[in-house]
Amino acid sequence: MTNENTTHFGFKQVRTEEKVRMVRGVFDAVADKYDLMNDLMSLGIHRIWKRIAVQLANVRSGDQVLDLAGGTGDLTSLFEKRVGKKGQVVLADINSEMLRTGRNRLIDKGLTGNIRYAQVNAECLPFADNTFDCVCIGFGLRNVTDKDAALRSMHRVLKPGGRVIVLEFSHPTDKLTEKVYDFYSFKLLPKIGAVVAKDEDSYRYLAESIRMHPKQEELKKMMENAGLERCEYFNMTQGIVAVHRGYKI
Give the containing element (helix H, strand E) for 159.
Answer: strand 158-169
Separation CA 100–CA 197 (nearest Å): 18
Is residue 72 a known part of a binding site? Answer: yes
93 is in an annotated binding site: yes
Q: Is-contact 222 168, C-beta < 8 A? A: no
CA distance 196 to 17: 30
As beta bridge partners, residue 92 has: 118
> What b/e readout covers 13-52, taking b as 16+ CB neighbours within 10 angstroms?
ebeeeebbeebbebbebbbebbbebbebbbeeebeebbee
Which residue ranges are tagged as binding site? 72, 93, 121-122
Which residue ranges are tagged as binding site for S-adenosyl-L-methionine? 72, 93, 121-122
